[in-house]
Structure formats: structure tokens, C-alpha cells
Structure 1
Amino acid sequence: MINSEKATDLAQRLAPGAEDAPAIAAPDRNLLTHGGLRGLIRDTVARLNALGIGRGDRVAIVLPNGPEMATAFITVAAAASTAPLNPAYRADELDFYLSDIGVKAILVGKDEQGPSVEVAERLGIPVLRLVVPEGAPAGVFRIEGNPVGSLVASGLAEGSDTALLLHTSGTTSRPKLVPLSHANLAASAAHIGATLGLTSADRCLNIMPLFHIHGLIAAVLSSLAAGGSVFCTPGFNALRFFQWLSEAMPSWYTAVPTMHQAILPRAARNPEQLAEAKLRFIRSSSASLPAAHQMASNRLPPGLRKPGSVGAAAGPEVAVMALDGRLLEAGETGEIVIRGPNVTAAYEKNPDANASAFTHGWFHTGDQGVLDEDGYLRVTGRLKEIINRGGEKISPLEVDGVLMDHPAVAQVVTFAMPHDKLGEEIAAAVVLREGQSASEADIRAFAATRLADFKVPRKVVILDEIPKGATGKLQRIGLAAKLGLR
């Protein structure tokens, strides 16, 4: 059962798990139980306090995907504030993030000697090492390193303490720092668990990166808060997915659409694994917002599911707002706004962004959408991604939907391409289905049968793979430059 909303820190959220119930699993590793995880939390909090790290201090975590990344997030957050960073970041990126967050220490792998260590040492940030004892259950570790300073506040974190610090993607501006409290994460874990009906019998197969809220909250924390377990892979790999499916025997998994699209064509080649699978449902999600992950969701049977919709509110309140702050009626298109216990109180050190994003009592998501009479939301575009072609506004999602109906198209992302007279022109990047063929002219001709002339892409680029962001999502903004379309 999902724990009470009154539990507002991670340690309390994990309390319901039975002592000997599985909590953390991983390929070719022994299970860590909920009792073992609680012991690891106690030991890690004591160790960090002994090193001079406690409540209010910030610790960057730079680790590869896997069980130790999951447990490091949970246990370090129980003592301090965590800042999980992408291990693939370059030195300049690490310099910005570590400086902007203001970390007291950085936690890396035992043998790590890459840019994260070099940048931390240059900035004078103490480096702590995560060591996995030989033969230890999945997720078990100890921290080695020297004391990093004086301890200000010891013991377990509380609900109002910051648990997680993340940056927005920064595709159009300087990345904004989003602090999420323990109460934010606890609310989100409860929302996801309730929507999915998670219980102690459920196990999630996690293929999402654990430096992002999708993997951290939807896969890891919601599973553990329900008393269930999570199987932590080294990260997404379509070639190994069905092997993991057989080993983990999960009741569900969650991923972004591009991952599902990579998995689906391989399903027919793995009939035995599919026959043995015990999946109760498959979840598809993701958007970068300063909230602890879930805003809306279609419902599992016997609840209502509407294809093309992201579902009804599933945690926070969701509404659609006009430019003047007026809440719109069903059927009217405007900006999607949210408010609720899983939404951050404010961006950090960014009054200008707060002034524009937190207005009229709601957080403004920057997404455009429409609610229907049942309260189900359809996202019609990202406001910053709307293409302005000589004054004509085109939703790239609409064009995506048409091009995906072409029988040879497996994946598509429509985006703005600079134009010297119109300002912006429409372009599309396309990946073809295996064994299928189509030319740029074929795809444009198909689009012309379904779209007004001004919505038909003037440029179609056929690729083996569309460039993606760090979390596996397709990114429209900046894609023209990446593909050399100027």
C-alpha cells in the first residue's frame, strides 16, 4: 500500500516495505531487501554526518546508471541535498553545474578519474568515492574520503528540506535551477503509485537515466514507496531489453517514446521472452517541468484511456489559461498551468524566471493544450516550439502526427528552420522503418494530401537516427543547427 501523505521525507516514504521484501535488483546481482535499504540509509547518513555533511549541504552525484546510483540518491538525500549529474557531461558543463549548485562535495565511483574529478579539484570541491564491497547485494556501498568541513545540521532530512536539485534543459536560455523538497518527492511518489495502483507485488524494470526525475521518481521512488522493487539496469539498450525482461520478470516498465519505438520492432524476434513476460502495464512519459514528474495520466483499465491525450490530472491540479490569466473552458486552447504539492515553490536565484512562470497562482508550463469535457488534456505544442512561418503559427506536433501515418516512417520530429524572408520555415527529420524506403519528395507529397500547403515541410531530412537529448527525448529546439540547416 502507498504510505500516507503525511510521510514527507524519503526515509519515511520507504518505511512500509517489509523487512525481507525485495527492494533493489540488478543484472547478475543479489537482491537488496527493504530492511537492507533502511540499514544502508542509516549507515550513509551517519557516514556523511561524520564527514561534515548534513541537512542543507549539497552533494553532486556523478555515477553511471545502476543500483548504486539509485541507492546513492535515496541515502544521500536522507542526509543532505542531492544533485545527480549526467556522467557524460563535458568539463565546461560540469564547471557550470557544480558552480551554480554550490556543492559541498562530489560523489563519484571508486576509480573515476574523468572530467568530474578534474573539475571538482580545480574548483576546490572535495571528492568522495563510492566503493562497492565484493559480492555485496545490489545497491550496497560505502563512502570513502576525508572530512569536508564542519557539520551544521545532523540527522535525517525533513519534509521541507531540499532533496533534489535539477536544472531545466536550457535550450533557449540559461538553465534554471529547480529545488524539489522531500515533500514534493513524497507527493509525486504517492501520485504515481495511486495512478498505477502500485503494491508490494510490483517490480519496475528501469531503463531510464537516474540523473533525471523520470527514472529517479517514477521508476525508483514510487516503486519503493509502495513496498515494491525496482530492477536497475546500466541504462537503455534495445539489444539487451528482452534479456532483462526475462531476468527481472517485472510487472511494468516506464520509458520515453523513443525507447518504446526502439523496443517494439524487436518484440517479434523475442517470442519466448514475450510469452514468459508478466507485464501488467507499460508506461510512456516525460517532460521537463519543475515538478516531481507526473502531471496527468490516462487511466489503467477499467479507467478511461483516450488515445492522443495525456490523460486527466494525476496529482496536481491542471488547467488551461489565457494570456490574461483567465482559466479557459473545455475545448479552448491556451497555456497548460499546474499547481499542487509536487510543484517546486520557485526557481533558485532567478527572480525574472519566477516572475513569469509563477503567476495568477499557478505554474506556467510553457506547453499549449486543450482540456475536453472529461478533463482529459491534449498537448498541442510547446509554446517556444510553435513554428512562426511568416506569421502563420504551426504546431510541430500536428505535422508529426501526419508524417507518422506514412507507412515507411518509423520516427519523426518536426522543427523550425531559419528562413531569410519568412523568419522560420518547416523542416522534419525522419527515420524510416526497417526494410522500407521513401524519398523526401514521397514524404512531402504524402503530407500535402493531409495538410494545408503552409504546413507541409519544405525540407525533409532522412536519417538513420535523430539526435536526442541526454534523457533520450527528441528535442526540436536547436535541431536545425545540429543538422546544419541554416
Structure 2
Amino acid sequence: MSANLAVLEVPSGDRIHDIVPALRRMLDGQGPPLLPVPAGDHREIRRLTDALHPGEPIADTVGLVVATSGTTGTPKGAQLTAPALRASGDATHERIGGTGSWLLALPAHHIAGLQVLLRSSLSGTEPVIMDVSEGFDPAALPAAVAAMRGPRRYSSMVPTQLIKTLDHPDALAALAELDAILLGGAATPEPVLRRARDAGVNVVRTYGMSETCGGCIYDGVSLTGVDVRIDADTRVWLGGSVLASGYRGLPDHPAFAEPGWFRTDDAGLVEDGVVRILGRLDEAISSGGLTVVPQVVEAVLIEHPAVREVAVIGLPDDRLGQQVAAVVVPENGTSPTLDELRVWTSSTLDATAAPRELHLVDALPLRGPGKIDRRALVTRFS
């Protein structure tokens, strides 16, 4: 059986409540398969509709087609079934202590924002909405949290939002009132986690992607119904009840070539039953014949007292092939030097991982809901 894929224009602010009934019908298996797109963003709508073909037939087992471009920039549509979305929501509530009220502080056309709305539906609650169409404003958090009803209250955020919140005491105190903050979309610096947890915020680090209905590993432990394996090349494979049924229009895509499994582009390992993600395999830097994983270097550099945010990238080098470069947002009133950061890095990692270039910036470019846009940085500084 098949149905036609329908466009779901996702607005911002309180108007998001208007699309919740359509999502509930989809979750109950009563509505057409939906392609969420950002309302009013005509360029993005055209890009997504050109690639994902709404109005054309799709298996009626599909509930949502969620656009994901990974690092390639080419839209792919992860086909998510209602049972997979329900399994994800139920496993999340099981892990964090039960159903509850949810605060939406993310764009609602990405999987993390959609999941806030879907978990609200599974909880039988109405989501509280923050308008992030003009960016995330921590000053709005206290009123938003105060509007939530108990007994349990949750939200999802990306690391850049938490970093901003740390500088607003009232907003940080509001987050500490919630039972859990699911934090995903990008790696979270350890100093940020420590500051948030010291302030009483219950941060739950999540790992997953659109192809797994969002986060499927919480604090390194897979949710109920989620399968994880690491192959000989340290690549992470994911499977189980939350898995997408392939990509829209790409039945032979290699990421889904092995039935029941999704081949990620991430490297990882398992230590004492806990999954640790090392970084993306396709972002590794080859410098002088040696491989440097950017996220490993970032985890060391972020501990430097003058580093507020950091991205490590590979820049072209005639001798080495690529050289390691650090793009740093410094802490207020500081100006770290390349020599300082090289010494700092070399005390923990091999000398190959020490940056050979340093660029200080006011902010790091982002793509999607909160991932660092490394390609933009490479283009800018090459």
C-alpha cells in the first residue's frame, strides 16, 4: 500500500501548536506521511521539496520523512514510521523517569524539535513553546519554565544553547527546576557539563540522528530496543526498534545496505558497557600520514582557561597534506596564543594533534540545530 507524501509547513512561536493535531494523527496511524519544512523559508522549502518529492507515492507505513543532509549538504529524507517514533518516545520516558510536560526550545522541523512535540503527545500534555525564530534567548527561559505543568518537566537543547544559558543566572536556575535536559546535536564540552551540573541542572547527553528518530543512546547507554555495535574500523552501527526504513527515493543507499542496521559515519568504542563517540570518520584530519580526530583535540583545548568554544579543522598544507588548525572563541578578556595552545595540547596528546594555526573568532558558524559548520570554517581560513 502507498500514500502520497504531504508537506507539513512548520511555523515558529505559538503557531507551532497548530501543527500538533497533524502530528498526533500521524502518530496514531491516521494521517498521511508528512514532510516537515520550515514555514516561510521559501529557499529551504524548494531545496527540500525538489529532493524529497512531496505529492508522490510513498509506503503508507512511513509517518515522517525528516530531512538530513549530514556533512554533504545534499538533502536525504529519513523515513520514520509511527511505531519507530513511538518506540523512541516510550524508551525516552522510561529512561528519564516517566511522561511529563515538555518545553520546545529548538526549531520544530528538525528531529529534536519534532520529538519534543511527539513526546508531548505521548504524554498527553501540551508543549510550552519558546520562539527561537530570531535565535535562542536565555532571558526567555524563566517565564517558559514557569508556564510548564508538572509533575515532571523536560526539555531538549543543543550545547550552544546551554553555553549561552550559563551566563544568565536566572535562566540557569530555571533549567535546574526541570527534571531533565536532553542535550544533543553536537558534542558537549566537559567544562560546560561541569558548570551546568554544579548549578543543579540534570543534563542527559544524547547521541543519535534523524535515522534513529533522534537520540538513541543516553549518557553512553542505549535506550530499550536500541542495538549498537562497533566494527573493526571503530565505526558505530545502530539498529533496533527506532531505526528508519531507509531514505526517501534511495533504496540502495549503502548506509542501510545491511538489513536492520544503520551505518553511521562516527567512530566510537565501548568501555565498561558505555558507548563513547570519538568523532566523525569523515572529518578526520590526515596530517603527515597520521590521523587526527578533531573532537579528541577539541576535548583537550576546551579545558584551557582562555577557550570558551573551539573547533578543530584540517587546512591544506603542501608538506603535510593537512595541518591541524584551531578556531577559538576566547573567554571574555583573554587572547590565547598558538604557542600556549600547542603546549597545552602536547601535554596530553601526541604532538601531531597540536594545532599549527590559530584563528580567534567571535562565534562559530552552525548548521542545523547546533552542529559546528566545519566546511564553512575550512572555506573561510583556507
Same fold (TM over 0.5): yes
Which deviations, in whole Å up to 9, do the C-alpha atoms of 1:304-362 show, x marking residues without a partner? xxxxxx33444411111225xxxxxxxxxx11111112111212222442x35432752
- Maintained 8 Å contact 2:51/2:75: no
- Maintained 8 Å contact 1:400/1:414: yes
Separation in 2, partners of 1:435, 1:203: 40
User: Of 34, 48, 65, which aligns to 1:82?
Assistant: 34
TM superposition score normalised by structure 1: 0.65
- Answer yes or no: is 1:291 the counterpart of 2:212: yes
Alignment-mate amino acid for residue 33 of structure 2: S
Separation in 2, partners of 1:237, 1:338: 34
User: Of 215, 222, 245, which aligns to 2:119?
Assistant: 222
Distance apart, 1:419 and its partner CA: 2.2
Q: What SS does the aligned partner of 1:265 have?
A: coil
Please list, as runs of the form range in 1=range in 2, the aligned pairs for 1:47-446 lying within 5 A after superposition. 56-72=3-19, 74-75=21-22, 77=26, 78-87=30-39, 89=41, 91=43, 93-104=44-55, 161-172=61-72, 174-199=74-99, 202-217=100-115, 219-235=116-132, 236-248=136-148, 251-267=153-169, 270=170, 274=173, 278-286=177-185, 287-298=208-219, 310-323=220-233, 334-353=234-253, 355-359=254-258, 361-373=260-272, 375-446=273-344
Separation in 1, partners of 2:6, 2:343: 54
Distance apart, 1:61 and its partner CA: 2.6
Separation in 2, partners of 1:276, 1:461: 33
Distance apart, 1:401 and its partner CA: 0.8
Structure 1 residue aligned with 2:195: none
User: Of 459, 463, 483, which aligns to 2:357?
Assistant: 459
In structure 2, the CA distance between the partners of 1:350 and 1:160, relative to structure 1 (3 Å rule), is: closer
In structure 2, the CA distance between the partners of 1:340 and 1:215, relative to structure 1 (3 Å rule), is: same
Distance apart, 1:87 and its partner CA: 4.4
In structure 2, the CA distance between the partners of 1:407 and 1:277, relative to structure 1 (3 Å rule), is: closer
Alignment-mate amino acid for residue 292 of structure 1: C
Distance apart, 1:163 and its partner CA: 1.4
Separation in 2, partners of 1:424, 1:447: 18
Distance apart, 1:430 and its partner CA: 1.3
- Answer yes or no: is 1:469 the counterpart of 2:379: no
Separation in 1, partners of 2:104, 2:334: 31
- Maintained 8 Å contact 1:311/1:378: no
Separation in 2, partners of 1:88, 1:428: 36
In structure 2, the CA distance between the partners of 1:341 and 1:444, relative to structure 1 (3 Å rule), is: same
Q: What SS does the aligned partner of 1:413 have?
A: strand
- Answer yes or no: is 1:485 the counterpart of 2:375: no
Which deviations, in whole Å up to 9, do the C-alpha atoms of 1:175-215 show, x marking residues without a partner? 3221111112111111111111223xx22221011011111
Alignment-mate amino acid for residue 290 of structure 2: E
In structure 2, the CA distance between the partners of 1:227 and 1:255, relative to structure 1 (3 Å rule), is: same
Separation in 1, partners of 2:174, 2:369: 30
Distance apart, 1:396 and its partner CA: 0.9
Q: Which runs of 5+ in 1 are unaligned?
A: 1-54, 106-151, 153-158, 299-309, 324-333
- Maintained 8 Å contact 2:255/2:262: no
Structure 2 residue aligned with 1:27: none
Q: What SS does the aligned partner of 1:348 have?
A: coil
**Higher RCO (CA-CA < 8 Å; seq separation 6+):** 1
- Maintained 8 Å contact 1:417/1:426: yes
Alignment-mate amino acid for residue 361 of structure 2: L
Q: Which has the larger radius of gyration?
A: 1
In structure 2, the CA distance between the partners of 1:360 and 1:75, relative to structure 1 (3 Å rule), is: closer
Which deviations, in whole Å up to 9, do the C-alpha atoms of 1:397-436 show, x marking residues without a partner? 1101110110121111212222233222211221122344
- Maintained 8 Å contact 1:294/1:314: no
Separation in 2, partners of 1:427, 1:191: 40
Q: What SS does the aligned partner of 1:359 have?
A: coil
TM superposition score normalised by structure 2: 0.82
Percent identity for Structure 1 against Structure 2: 25
Structure 1 residue aligned with 2:189: none
In structure 2, the CA distance between the partners of 1:160 and 1:275, relative to structure 1 (3 Å rule), is: closer
In structure 2, the CA distance between the partners of 1:87 and 1:225, relative to structure 1 (3 Å rule), is: same
